[in-house]
């Protein structure tokens, strides 16, 4: 690949060009190009190489097999997402919206790890040591064994951490540290790529577990468009509904555990608490008397979670009515509305439609389709759905209800929460204590949902 020595790079998506243009050729945003120099001279040239790993060959069999070497953080939901705990020498990225609770979780984890004898260095690039101390007091966590490093130069911070004999380093946040001598704004793609490479070398080279936090950009991606994601061992992503107290931490990548595992927390006055019974918490606000509310169970990582889908529709004079989806892809909402109109005979074309998912959870599981359809139909007719009834099934464009994976586990979870009846795809095996109503099509489901 030919490398141009100078050029411009989009700070949103990483697209590069040799000549300056006002608008990014990839993401089409205006004024997002920064100049970069990809063949830097002097001290930088060194670090542009891939992270230095020991240049010797060794037999795989000679590498010690230490499956048990994990540091549990003792925060149950965090350990679950990590796959049992932190792996020494690993690099973990924790992403999420500003204010969602990344720093809070990091400080709580730091304190728990320190209690177990780990030496934790906390690089606080965003807050002053006093602010961190105040948060620690608020969280009621001990300050012993935690070294604060109020430093925004990454190299200086890492050197200080090493000097302090740290076994765990937390960098809060990646956007608040910078690489000296690199001509690019802090948090920009060039800075992030370089910081990522140095962090990998630091974590692997010193066997120090390193955690970095990162704010998401408005596009919903961890800033520096996935630049860090491929470098790090694990990417954990915080989700939550605006104004709500529930937080979902999801592993979108994990070299040492299952991906898509989720941990559920509640933000309280004393920090984040692991939620022991997430389904109950997610259904806490479920109101069976309101129209537009349907319950389903999704598989998140290794466990089923019961969730509520809420829909609201109101007549509008707008030529193109609003479609607002929180926790669901807008394209999926459009598709399901189209299926509902064409295959179910329920038309929302003259209405604004809003759909949201409990707890700010993002729906990825197509098994929730039928619940979205049921919620939409109920919202449009303004009639509540029958009590204690849940909905499971993927919806095809033809209107057919397709089978879902792990139906038994989902239904068992719903049964545990007091649901006694479920609309399910045909040939779903029987589950004790549940009346199953097999539905073949959307129209079928709408008829049966009424009764
Ligand atoms: P924070 O961890 O600073 O978010 P991030 O690092 O992701 O930007 O969380 C800040 C929010 O959490 C803030 O709105 C206050 C709230 N909070 C609590 O509700 N309880 C607490 O004990 C703490 C420390 C914060
Ligand atoms: Mg923070």
Task: Indicate if 74 and 99 belong to the same structural domain.
Answer: yes
> Are 293 and 431 within one domain?
yes
Residue 77 lies in a domain: yes
User: Residue 133: pLDDT above 80?
Assistant: yes
Q: Which atom of ligand 1 is nearest to the CA of 98?
A: 8
Neighbours of 41 (CB within 10 A): 9
Domain range for 42 is: 6-46
Digit-coded pLDDT (tens) for 287-336 = 888 999 999 999 988 889 999 999 999 999 999 999 999 989 999 999 99
Residue 393 lies in a domain: yes
Closest C-alpha to ligand 1, atom 2:
101
Looking at the structure, tell me whether residues 224 and 326 fall in a common domain.
Answer: no
Q: Distance between CA atoms of 449 and 451, rounded to whole angstroms?
A: 6
Please count the structural domains in the chain: 3
289 in the same domain as 235: no
pLDDT above 50: residue 351: yes
Q: Which of 276, 302, 337 is the last residue of a domain?
A: 276
Q: Are residues 151 and 14 in the same domain?
A: no
276, 306, 321 - which closes a domain: 276
Best substitution site from 95, 97, 99, 237 to test ligand 1's pocket, by max atoms within 8 Å of Cβ? 99
Which of 245, 276, 307 represents a domain boundary (last residue)?
A: 276
The answer to whether residues 29 and 99 belong to one domain is: no
Residues 327 and 397 in one domain: yes
Beta bridge partners of 235: 93, 253
| CATH at residue 205 | 3.40.50.300
Per-residue CA distances from 398 to 273, 328, 340, 344, 395 (Å): 44, 21, 10, 10, 8
**Ligand minimally distant from the alpha carbon of residue 175:** 2
Q: Could you report the per-residue pLDDT of 214-261, keeping only the tens digit for each?
A: 987 655 555 554 678 889 999 998 888 777 888 999 998 999 888 878
Is residue 1 in a domain?
A: no
Report the nearest-CA residue for atom 9 of ligand 1.
101
CATH code assigned at 401:
3.30.230.10
- Flag whether 61 is in a domain: no
Whole-structure pTM value: 0.80
Asked whether residue 111 is domain-assigned, the answer is yes
290 and 377: one domain? yes
Q: Please state, in angstroms and as integers, the Cα–Cα distance from residue 90 to each residue in 209, 288, 310, following that order.
A: 5, 46, 40
Q: How remote is the CA of residue 101 from the centroid of ligand 1, in Å? A: 5
Asked whether residue 60 is domain-assigned, the answer is no
Q: Is 230 within the bounds of a domain?
A: yes
Q: Residue of the nearest CA to atom 21 in ligand 1? A: 271
């Amino acid at each position: 690949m030919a490398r141009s020595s100078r050029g411009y790079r989009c700070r949103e998506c990483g697209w590069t060009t040799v000549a300056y243009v006002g608008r990014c050729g990839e993401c089409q945003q205006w004024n997002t190009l920064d100049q970069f120099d990809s063949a830097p001279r002097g001290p930088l040239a060194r670090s542009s190489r891939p992270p230095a790993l020991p240049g010797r060959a060794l037999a795989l069999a000679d590498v010690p097999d230490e499956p048990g070497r994990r540091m549990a953080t003792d925060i149950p939901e965090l350990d679950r997402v990590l796959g049992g705990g932190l792996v020494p020498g690993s690099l973990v990225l924790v992403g999420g919206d500003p204010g969602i609770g990344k720093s809070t979780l990091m400080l709580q984890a730091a304190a728990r790890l320190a209690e177990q004898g780990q030496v934790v260095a906390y690089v606080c690039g965003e807050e002053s040591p006093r602010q961190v101390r105040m948060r620690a007091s608020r969280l009621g966590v001990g300050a012993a064994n935690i070294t604060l490093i109020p430093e925004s130069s990454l190299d200086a911070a890492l050197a200080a951490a090493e000097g302090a004999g740290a076994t765990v380093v937390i960098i809060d946040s990646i956007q608040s540290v910078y690489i000296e001598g690199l001509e690019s704004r802090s948090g920009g793609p060039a800075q992030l790529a370089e910081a990522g490479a140095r962090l990998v070398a630091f974590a692997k080279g010193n066997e120090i577990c390193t955690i970095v936090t990162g704010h998401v950009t408005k596009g919903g991606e961890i800033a520096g468009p996935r630049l860090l994601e491929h470098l790090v061992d694990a990417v954990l992503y915080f989700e939550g509904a605006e104004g709500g107290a529930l937080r979902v931490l999801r592993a979108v990548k994990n070299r040492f555990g299952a991906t898509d595992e989720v941990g559920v927390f509640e933000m309280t006055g004393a920090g984040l608490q692991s939620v022991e019974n997430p389904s109950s918490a997610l259904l806490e606000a479920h109101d069976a008397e309101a129209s537009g509310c349907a319950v389903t169970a999704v598989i998140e990582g290794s466990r089923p979670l019961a969730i509520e889908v809420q829909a609201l529709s109101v007549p509008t004079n707008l030529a193109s009515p609003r479609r607002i989806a929180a926790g669901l892809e807008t394209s999926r909402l459009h598709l399901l509305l189209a299926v509902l109109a064409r295959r179910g005979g329920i038309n929302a074309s003259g209405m604004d439609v809003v759909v949201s998912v409990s707890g700010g959870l993002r729906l990825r599981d197509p098994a929730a389709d039928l619940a979205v359809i049921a919620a939409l139909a109920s919202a449009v007719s303004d009639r509540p759905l029958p009590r204690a009834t849940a909905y499971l099934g993927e919806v095809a464009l033809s209107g057919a209800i397709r089978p879902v994976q792990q139906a038994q586990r989902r239904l068992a979870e719903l049964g545990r929460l007091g649901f006694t009846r479920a609309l399910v795809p045909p040939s779903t095996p029987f589950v004790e204590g549940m009346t199953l109503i097999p539905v073949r099509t959307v129209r079928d489901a709408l008829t049966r949902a009424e009764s």
